[in-house]
A and B are shown apart, each in its own frame.
Chain A
Amino acid sequence: MHFLSRRRTARALPVLATLAALALTAGCAGGGGDGGDQQAADQKQTISFYHWRAEDKETFDALIKDFQAKNANITVEQSIFPSEQYQATAQTKIRDGSVGDVFTVFRGAQFESVAKAGLFADLTDEGFVDNYQESLIEPGRREGKQLGLPYQLVFNDPLYSKAAFAKAGVQVPTSWPAFLDTCRKLKSAGYIPVAFPGGDPNNAGQLLNTMVMNNLPADDGFAQLEQGKTKATDAWWVKTLTQYKQAQDAGCFAPNALGTKTDAALALFAQGKAAILPTGSFQVAAVRKQAPDLEIDLFAPITTETPGEAKYEGVYNATFILGVNARSAKQAAAKKFVEYLSDPANAATYANGTAQLVTVKDVKYDSPDLAFTEPWLTKKTLLAPRFQFTNLEIRSAIENSVIAVLGGKDPAQAATEAQKIVDEKR
């Protein structure tokens, strides 16, 4: 059957071919390049602020409103993704420029990969860098350049309920035997001693920071493990795994801990059923939403036999690293926003609104929830070792050996299996 005559076909084909070529060209052009059409500084600009802290949205909304009032030509839009998704997709999105004129990254592997890809604009010579405590922004530095500014100062130490400790008649333990005894007493008093979120790998790994801080062969022990200078089968890691097993045998963890998600663990703690939430100060705001009156504080399990042997009292992490996208066509506006956040008065608004300490100098903390975290600024703390890993496959292998032990595997066997994967993935 002939739909068109031969002559019509001859006419139609070039037209259709042209249309197809145009469609393809338009499709390819849609991807965008590096943004060659830089807008003039006095033009209205909208910048994207890309981060993972959904719980901070309201505080950032207030800050952005104030920033926009002071910078009438700049509009800031927040793009917020859950942290697991952020870990996975941030690099791609920052690279293609779809979001993130100003973006944030986690300390460790994510910072390293974004830096390696050249996605950070160099902030070394920006005046606002001086607003930060120099030692705390070290994780945002690479090869002598200040690429990012760690904004939050987090203590990845377990939260505990003062009421539960008082009811069980226990003090904050300062040695390993005292910690195990605390678990037994809390359990006898009817509490789940530790609401361990074993069903959520991301938060299950937070306890590792404090469990290992006094067992590491060196402060950068996990980095050394990744480099092959130490092994998971060495005594320090087998000891750590054995202590997890001892904690389990002492009833520290509920039998169903490995199936417990973060939300459930948080609810158990906020409802007063569990005495310890082994995640960190970054969950204070979430606890407050569910239990405004719960009296809480931080502590860390000390894994040495006597208090005097312990080198560290806890861990900290400088994270939520602010960066300006090197591929953004609106870098000037993006830097203005980072400068605004770096101002001590604005940093104080953020800190008090989100119950997070910040790395900015001269910040006045007036939130009651920061009153108990502030003393930790002067304690002997180690930069959270879990984030020394730059290879997340190796980190997973190590963290999974803890899960294997809590699932019933012998610590030495679990360590051997973890080391096999470490050797493969190094």
Chain B
Amino acid sequence: MTATEPARRAGQVLEPPPAAPIQAGRKRRSPTRPSPLLWLFVLPALLLYVVFFVGPTLFALQYSITDWDGISPSFGYVGTANYTELFTDDTIFRRALGNNLRFVLVVVVLQTVLSLLFAMLLVRNTRGSILLRALFFFPTILSSVSVAFVWSFVYDPNGGLLQEIGVPGPAQGWLGSEDTALYALAVTQVWFHTGQMLVVFVAGLQAIPAELYEAAELEGASGWQSFRHVTWPLVAPATAIVLAYTTIQSFKAFDLVFAMTQGGPNYSTEILATLIYNTAFVNFRFGYAAAESVVFMVLVGLVAWLQRRALRVEREA
């Protein structure tokens, strides 16, 4: 609350504050024009951003048109050859791209639906809800390698948890079958991050005024109608955050895949992040890996833009 607020409430007419006397011979800066000195406060963050994001991105663009192996001091420029090879002559890249899109789709749908569902169930600040929210959030604070280790045990076909409790699965094991390995990883990813998204949704749901639900109830709206016409439109900003974050997180799910399957069996869990890593650090084709990274960056940007656009259309409708 500002100092003028009680006076405004009392219906008084407020006078503008007296202007400071203009000193002779000096121009007075417009109060709306920020001092150039303020840029100094942005400088540290800007420097970090340029050094660690803009710089590497520009370097990646440069390397993507070279044949650099990542070790040799010199390299040659190859024009668009890396990009041409990527799109016309690289079965593994196309497979990794397909796997990645499937992985993202499964994770985004499952994680968004589950986190919204749990958030709606746990939106009230009762002791039980708070405890359960904390429990759901718990996996988020674990390191991804620990999560990979735990879930490798869960899926282990030699006495793993699922086998011990009698859950039927493929003969080769969940991570050993080409048909199930990617989905098994997706389930792990969902378990890992649903609690985090739940918190975002709880914040979004708690911001919806209770009066709207009361009005809907008075109008005779069903539970579904309340959700469709009150909850869903008003939780849209939180949904936008969850969708964007989950999408980017799923595209980058390198650590789980690397620790649990290393892209196998037979490339069935190879995703773009693991492929780029292998191309650069195992096969020493940094130039080609840079081209893969550029395509990856464009793809993530495109998907994020499409999501934002779709949500805006939904909100406007």
Q: Which residues of A contact B35 (CB under 8 A)?
A: 1-3
Q: Is the CB of B71 within 8 A of A257?
A: no
Q: Is the CB of A264 within 8 A of B158?
A: yes
> Counting CB contacts under 8 A, is A190 at the interface?
no
Q: Is the CB of B37 within 8 A of A9?
A: yes
Q: Is the CB of A113 within 8 A of B266?
A: no
Q: With A3-B37, A424-B89 in contact, is A259–B283 under 8 Å at CB? A: no
| Majority secondary structure of chain B interface residues (helix, strand, loop or mixed) | loop
With A and B bound together, what is the CA distance between A56 and B219 in angstroms?
Answer: 76
> Counting CB contacts under 8 A, is A29 at the interface?
no
Q: Which residues of A contact B265 (CB under 8 A)?
A: 198-199, 258, 400, 403-404, 407
> Counting CB contacts under 8 A, is A57 at the interface?
no
With both chains docked as a complex, state the minimum distance between the C-beta of A2 and any C-beta of chain B, in angstroms: 6
Contact with A along B66-84 (1 / 0, CB 8 A): 0001111000000000000
Q: B155: which of A88, A259, A268, A392 is its contact (CB, 8 Å)? A: A259
> Counting CB contacts under 8 A, is B296 at the interface?
no
Q: Is the CB of A116 within 8 A of B264?
A: no
Q: Which residues of B contact A12 (CB under 8 A)?
A: 37
Q: Which residues of A contact B198 (CB under 8 A)?
A: none
Q: Is the CB of A407 within 8 A of B172?
A: yes
Q: With A3-B35, A392-B282, A421-B91 in contact, is A400–B266 under 8 Å at CB? A: yes
Q: Is the CB of A400 within 8 A of B71?
A: no
Q: Which residues of B contact A261 (CB under 8 A)?
A: 152, 156
Chain B contact-residue range equals 35 or more
Q: Which residues of B contact A89 (CB under 8 A)?
A: 281
Residues 262-313 of B at the A interface (beta carbon under 8 Å): 262-267, 277-278, 281-284
With A and B bound together, what is the CA distance between A198 and B70 in angstroms?
Answer: 30
With A and B bound together, what is the CA distance between A249 and B155 in angstroms?
Answer: 24
Q: With A198-B265, A391-B283 in contact, is A268–B158 under 8 Å at CB? A: yes
With A and B bound together, what is the CA distance between A119 and B284 in angstroms?
Answer: 15
Q: Which residues of A contact B277 (CB under 8 A)?
A: 88
With both chains docked as a complex, state the minimum distance between the C-beta of B53 and any C-beta of chain A, in angstroms: 16
Q: With A113-B71, A117-B72, A260-B157 in contact, is A199–B281 under 8 Å at CB? A: no
Most chain A CB atoms below 10 A, which of B172, B175, B266: B266
Q: Which residues of A contact B174 (CB under 8 A)?
A: 259
Q: Is the CB of B71 within 8 A of A404?
A: no
Q: Is the CB of A199 within 8 A of B175?
A: yes
> Counting CB contacts under 8 A, is B171 at the interface?
yes
Q: With A4-B37, A201-B262, A407-B266 in contact, is A88–B173 under 8 Å at CB? A: no
Q: A20: which of B43, B91, B173 is its contact (CB, 8 Å)? A: B43
Q: Is the CB of B176 within 8 A of A199?
A: yes
Contact with A along B31-49 (1 / 0, CB 8 A): 0000111001001000100
Q: B176: which of A4, A95, A259, A420 is its contact (CB, 8 Å)? A: A259
Number of residues on chain A facing chain B (CB within 8 A)? 45
With both chains docked as a complex, state the minimum distance between the C-beta of A388 and any C-beta of chain B, in angstroms: 16
With both chains docked as a complex, state the minimum distance between the C-beta of A151 and any C-beta of chain B, in angstroms: 23
Contact with B along A185-212 (1 / 0, CB 8 A): 0000000000000111100000000000
With A and B bound together, what is the CA distance between A20 and B85 in angstroms?
Answer: 43
> Counting CB contacts under 8 A, is A169 at the interface?
no
Contact with B along A394-426 (1 / 0, CB 8 A): 000000110110010000000000001100100
With A and B bound together, what is the CA distance between A91 and B171 in angstroms?
Answer: 39
> Counting CB contacts under 8 A, is B178 at the interface?
yes
With A and B bound together, what is the CA distance between A256 and B156 in angstroms?
Answer: 9
> Counting CB contacts under 8 A, is B316 at the interface?
no
With both chains docked as a complex, state the minimum distance between the C-beta of B54 and any C-beta of chain A, in angstroms: 15
Most chain B CB atoms below 10 A, which of A12, A392, A407, A421: A407
With A and B bound together, what is the CA distance between A201 and B281 in angstroms?
Answer: 16
> Counting CB contacts under 8 A, is B90 at the interface?
yes
> Counting CB contacts under 8 A, is A26 at the interface?
no
Q: Which residues of A contact B90 (CB under 8 A)?
A: 424
Q: Is the CB of A256 within 8 A of B281?
A: no
Q: Is the CB of B152 within 8 A of A116?
A: no
Residues 369-406 of A at the B interface (beta carbon under 8 Å): 391-393, 400-401, 403-404
Q: A264: which of B70, B92, B156, B267 is its contact (CB, 8 Å)? A: B156
With A and B bound together, what is the CA distance between A4 and B41 in angstroms?
Answer: 13
Q: Which residues of A contact B89 (CB under 8 A)?
A: 424
Q: Which residues of B contact A404 (CB under 8 A)?
A: 178, 265-266
Q: Which residues of A contact B92 (CB under 8 A)?
A: 393, 421, 424
Q: Is the CB of B176 within 8 A of A260?
A: yes
Q: With A2-B29, A116-B72 in contact, is A256–B176 under 8 Å at CB? A: yes
Q: Which residues of B contact A264 (CB under 8 A)?
A: 156, 158
Q: Is the CB of B47 within 8 A of A256?
A: no
> Counting CB contacts under 8 A, is B129 at the interface?
no
Most chain A CB atoms below 10 A, which of B37, B69, B70: B37
With A and B bound together, what is the CA distance between A424 and B85 in angstroms?
Answer: 9
> Counting CB contacts under 8 A, is A92 at the interface?
yes
> Counting CB contacts under 8 A, is B231 at the interface?
no
> Counting CB contacts under 8 A, is B249 at the interface?
no
B264's nearest neighbour on chain A, judged by CB, is A201
Q: Is the CB of B264 within 8 A of A255?
A: no
With A and B bound together, what is the CA distance between A4 and B29 in angstroms?
Answer: 13
> Counting CB contacts under 8 A, is B177 at the interface?
yes
A260's nearest neighbour on chain B, judged by CB, is B158
> Counting CB contacts under 8 A, is A87 at the interface?
yes
> Counting CB contacts under 8 A, is A40 at the interface?
no
Contact with B along A334-376 (1 / 0, CB 8 A): 0000000000000000000000000000000000000000000
> Counting CB contacts under 8 A, is A166 at the interface?
no
> Counting CB contacts under 8 A, is B261 at the interface?
yes
With A and B bound together, what is the CA distance between A368 and B85 in angstroms?
Answer: 54
Q: Which residues of A contact B177 (CB under 8 A)?
A: 258-259, 407
**Can you give 22 contacting A-B residue pairs, CB < 8 Å?**
A2-B29, A16-B40, A16-B43, A20-B43, A20-B47, A91-B70, A92-B70, A92-B71, A113-B71, A116-B69, A117-B69, A198-B265, A258-B172, A259-B173, A260-B158, A393-B278, A400-B264, A400-B266, A403-B265, A407-B172, A407-B265, A421-B91
What are the 3 A-B residue pairs with the smallest beta carbon separation, nearest first?
A259-B173, A259-B176, A256-B157
Q: What is the interface of chain B, defined by CB distance below 8 A to chain A? A: 29, 35-37, 40, 43, 47, 69-72, 85, 89-92, 152, 155-158, 171-178, 261-267, 277-278, 281-284
Apart from A256-B176, A392-B278, 14 more pairs, CB < 8 Å: A3-B37, A88-B281, A88-B282, A89-B281, A201-B264, A256-B158, A259-B175, A400-B266, A400-B267, A403-B265, A403-B266, A404-B265, A407-B172, A421-B92
